[in-house]
C-alpha cells in the first residue's frame, strides 16, 4: 500500500481537470506550495530501543521478523485518516514505532507482551493500518520505546464448521484473503467495508467495523461467535454457544477494545453461503427526509433487508459521490439517490426480494431508476479512498466522520453536525449518507471537502472537535463504526460518563498492569 496514501501506487491518478477547476471556483482550492515528500525524506525519531530489547524481541519471534529499518517504520506510522496522510505527505514521521515485530503464533504474542511489560515498551497491535481515529499512534511519554505488533503472519483459515456455519480465522488475514479462503468452501463473511482491500479481521473486531452490506449481513461484531485474546495477564478464550446467560458477555469487552486490553489472536466467525445471484439498482427520492422515511419503513417492516441499502442526501447526490468513478454527474435537482443491492441464492430469490423492496420504496414516493445507478455504485465501491489522494494532491482536505442515532433524533443530529462543520470551516462541501440501518435508527456518514489552508491538520482538528461536540449535544454516538482511538477520547468520555470511564480504567489496569498496550488509545 502507498505509504502516504491509499492503494497500489500505480493506481494513483490526478483529479480530472474539470473537477479541479470546479473545486477552485467553488471552494478556492489551490495546489499546495510543496509536493509530497518522498519516502527517504520522511523525518523519523532515532530508534529508542536499546540493543538488549531488540535482541530479546528477536529471540521471541525470530530475527527475520523484527525490523527497525526506516521503510518498515514509515509504513507503520499512524493510520489512514486525512490528517495522518497530510502529515506523511509533509514528511512528518514523528509517531513512527521504533521497531516492527511480526509474531507467528499466539504463544509468540504472549512472549512479546511479557517482555514489553517487563521493559515498559509500548505495544501497538497493527492489522491493516487503516484506522481513521488515531488508533495506531500511542502516547510515547514514560515508555522505553514503541513497537508495532504487526499481525500479518497470523493469516490462516484454521477450521470450517459448516454444520454450525462457523469458521475459525486468524486476525492478520486481510478481508480479500479471508473471502478467497472461505470462497473455496462456498462461504462468505459478507463484510465489505470501504477499506476492504487492506483491513484485517482483527482490526474489524477491535474497532467494531460495519461493512457496506451491513443491512443484509450485519455488523462485524455481530459475526463474532468467539475469540481468543492474549493479554499481559494471560489468555482469554470467549464464546462457546450461540447465546449464553452465563453472566455478562465478556466478548463485548474485547470487541471495540482497539488493542488497549489485549491482542486478538483467533476469531470464530459466523459465515453465510455465497450468494448465487445479485442485482443492484437505484431509486430517486425528492428529498433526504422522504428517502429516510422510506428506509425506516423498510427497516421496521419486518422483512429481510437488501444486502446494501444506501441513501445519499441532496448534496452527495448532486456531486455524484455515491459513484466516485462518475464524479460530477449528479447535477442540480437530482433529488436523493438510494442504492439497493439484493443478494440471494438464486435469481428467483433476488427477484422476490426486489419486488418486496420496490413495493415499500414506491409506497413512500420512490421512483425507480433501473440498474445503472446501483451497478455504478457497486463498480466504484472501493474508489473513494483513491479519490481522496487526488483531492489532497490538488490542495483540498477531504475527510469523513460518522455517527448514529435513533430515528427520532436523526434529523436534529444531521442538521447540527452540518451546522458545526460549516461554522468551523467557512463554506465547505458537506455531504451525507445513511448506509447502516436498524429498526430503531441509523448511522449518518458525512464527507467534507474544503480548501487546505496553511495548517490543514489544525483546521480539521477544530472542525472535528466542533462536530464531535454537536454529536454529543444532539444525543448521537461518537462513532457507529470507526471507533474511539485518540481522536474521540473526549467525546467518548462524555458519552459513557464518569462511571463508564472508571470501569474501562479498572479493566485496563487488571489486564495490562504496566499499561503498555496502545497507551492513550480508547481509555480516557
Ligand atoms: C479509506 C477508508 C475507508 C474505511 N471504510 C470503513 C468502512 O466502510 N467501515 C468500517 O467499519 N471502517 C472503515 N474504515 C476504518 C477502518 O478500516 C476500520 O476501523 C478497520 O476495522 C480497521 O482494520 P485494520 O485491520 O486496518 O486495523 P488497524 O487500523 O490496523 O487497527 C485498528 C485498531 O485496532 C487495533 N487492532 C488491530 N488488530 C488488532 C488485534 N488483532 N487485536 C487487538 N487490537 C487490534 C489497533 O491497535 C487499532 O487501535 C475505513 C478506513 C479507511 C482509511
DSSP 18-83: HHHHHHHHHH-----SSPPPPGGG-B-PPP-S-HHHHHHHHHHH-GGGEE-SHHHHHHTSS-SSHH
pLDDT at residue 320 in the model: 83
Q: What is the pLDDT of residue 11?
A: 86
Nearest to 452 by CA among 386, 389, 387, 392: 392
Question: What is the b/e burial string over 197-229, where b = at least 16 CB atoms within 10 angstroms of the residue's CB?
Answer: bbbbbbbbbbbbbbbbbbbbbbbbbebbbbbbb
pTM of the full predicted structure? 0.97
Give the helix ranges, DSSP H, for 288-398: 288-300, 314-319, 347-363, 371-379, 384-394
Q: Hey, is 492 helix, strand or coil?
A: helix
pLDDT, one tens digit per residue, over 34-56 is 889 999 999 999 999 999 999 99
Greatest extent of the chain over all pairs of C-alpha atoms, in Å: 70
Q: 504 CA distance to ligand 1 centroid (A)?
A: 20
What atom in ligand 1 is closest to the CA of residue 385?
Answer: 1
Ligand 1: residue whose CA is nearest its atom 2: 195
- Ligand 1 close to Cβ of residue 381 (< 6 A): no
Residue 477 CA to residue 400 CA, distance in Å, equals 15
Per-residue pLDDT at 10? 86
Which atom of ligand 1 is nearest to 193's Cα?
A: 8
Ligand 1 binding pocket includes 376 (Cβ within 6 Å): no
Q: How far is the CA of 203 from the centre of ligand 1 (A)?
A: 4
122 and 519 in contact (C-beta within 8 Å)? Answer: yes
pLDDT computed for residue 34 by the predictor: 86
Distance CA(453)–CA(459), nearest Å, equals: 8
Answer yes or no: is the C-beta of 154 below 6 A from any ligand 1 atom: no
Which distant-in-sequence residues (6+ apart) come within 8 Å of 184 by Cβ? none
Ligand 1 atom with the smallest distance to the CA of 482 is 19
Q: Report the pLDDT value the prediction gives residue 327, as an integer from 0 to 100.
A: 65
Total residue length of the chain: 524
* pLDDT profile of the chain (524 residues), mean per 10: 91 88 93 91 97 98 98 98 97 98 98 98 98 97 97 98 98 98 98 98 98 97 98 98 97 98 98 98 96 97 94 93 67 85 97 95 96 94 92 96 98 98 96 97 98 96 97 97 97 97 98 98 98
Point out the ligand 1 atom lying closest to the alpha carbon of residue 522.
49
Nearest CA to ligand 1 atom 45: 259
Distance 194 CA to ligand 1 centre (A): 11
For ligand 1, is residue 202 a contact (CB within 6 Å)?
yes
> Ligand 1: which atom is nearest the Cα of residue 229?
42
Amino acid at each position: 500500500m502507498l505509504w502516504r496514501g491509499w492503494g497500489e501506487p500505480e493506481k494513483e491518478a490526478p483529479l480530472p481537470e474539470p473537477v479541479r477547476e470546479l473545486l477552485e471556483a467553488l471552494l478556492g482550492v489551490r495546489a499546495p506550495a510543496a509536493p509530497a515528500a518522498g519516502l527517504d525524506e520522511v523525518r523519523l525519531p532515532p530508534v529508542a530501543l536499546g540493543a538488549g530489547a531488540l535482541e530479546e524481541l528477536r529471540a521471541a519471534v525470530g530475527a527475520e521478523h523484527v525490523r527497525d529499518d526506516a521503510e518498515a517504520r514509515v509504513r507503520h506510522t499512524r493510520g489512514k485518516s486525512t490528517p495522518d496522510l497530510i502529515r506523511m505527505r509533509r514528511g512528518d514521521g514523528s509517531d513512527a514505532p521504533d521497531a516492527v515485530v511480526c509474531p507467528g503464533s499466539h504463544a509468540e504474542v504472549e512472549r512479546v507482551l511479557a517482555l514489553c511489560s517487563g521493559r515498559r515498551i509500548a505495544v501497538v497491535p497493527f492489522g491493516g493500518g487503516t484506522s481513521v481515529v488515531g488508533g495506531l499512534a500511542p502516547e510515547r511519554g514514560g515508555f522505553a520505546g514503541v513497537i508495532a505488533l504487526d499481525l500479518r503472519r497470523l493469516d490462516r483459515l484454521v477450521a470450517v464448521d459448516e454444520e454450525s456455519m462457523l469458521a475459525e480465522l486468524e486476525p492478520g488475514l486481510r478481508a480479500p484473503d479471508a473471502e478467497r479462503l472461505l470462497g473455496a468452501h462456498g462461504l462468505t463473511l459478507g463484510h465489505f467495508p470501504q477499506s476492504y482491500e487492506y483491513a484485517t479481521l482483527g482490526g474489524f473486531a477491535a474497532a467494531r467495523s460495519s461493512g457496506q452490506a451491513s443491512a443484509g449481513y450485519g455488523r462485524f461484531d455481530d459475526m463474532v461467535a468467539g475469540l481468543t485474546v492474549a493479554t499481559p495477564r494471560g489468555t482469554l478464550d470467549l464464546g462457546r454457544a450461540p447465546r449464553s446467560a452465563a453472566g455478562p458477555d465478556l466478548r463485548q469487552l474485547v470487541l471495540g477494545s482497539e488493542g488497549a486490553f489485549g491482542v486478538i489472536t483467533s476469531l470464530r466467525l459466523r459465515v453465510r453461503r455465497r450468494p448465487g445471484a445479485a442485482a443492484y439498482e437505484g431509486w430517486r427520492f425528492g428529498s433526504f427526509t422522504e428517502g429516510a422515511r422510506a428506509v425506516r419503513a423498510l427497516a421496521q417492516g419486518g422483512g429481510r433487508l437488501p444486502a446494501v441499502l444506501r441513501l445519499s442526501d441532496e448534496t452527495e447526490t448532486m456531486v455524484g459521490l455515491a459513484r466516485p468513478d462518475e464524479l460530477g454527474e449528479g447535477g442540480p435537482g437530482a433529488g436523493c439517490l438510494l442504492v439497493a443491492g439484493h443478494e440471494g441464492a438464486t435469481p428467483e430469490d433476488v427477484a422476490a426480494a426486489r419486488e418486496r423492496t420496490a413495493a415499500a420504496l414506491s409506497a413512500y414516493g420512490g421512483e425507480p431508476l433501473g440498474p445503472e445507478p446501483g451497478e455504478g455504485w457497486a463498480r466504484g465501491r472501493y474508489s473513494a479512498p483513491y479519490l481522496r489522494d487526488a483531492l489532497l494532491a490538488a490542495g483540498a482536505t477531504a475527510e469523513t466522520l460518522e455517527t448514529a442515532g435513533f430515528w427520532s433524533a436523526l434529523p436534529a443530529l444531521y442538521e447540527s453536525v452540518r451546522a458545526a462543520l460549516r461554522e468551523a470551516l467557512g463554506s465547505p462541501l458537506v455531504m451525507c449518507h445513511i448506509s447502516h440501518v436498524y429498526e430503531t435508527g441509523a448511522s449518518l456518514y458525512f464527507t467534507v471537502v474544503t480548501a487546505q489552508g496553511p495548517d490543514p491538520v489544525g483546521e480539521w482538528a477544530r472542525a472535528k472537535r466542533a462536530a464531535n461536540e454537536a454529536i454529543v449535544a444532539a444525543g448521537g454516538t461518537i462513532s457507529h463504526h470507526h471507533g474511539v482511538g485518540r481522536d474521540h477520547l473526549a467525546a467518548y468520555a462524555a458519552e459513557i460518563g464518569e462511571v463508564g470511564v472508571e470501569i474501562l480504567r479498572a479493566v485496563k489496569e487488571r489486564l495490562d498492569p504496566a499499561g503498555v498496550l496502545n497507551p492513550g488509545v480508547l481509555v480516557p
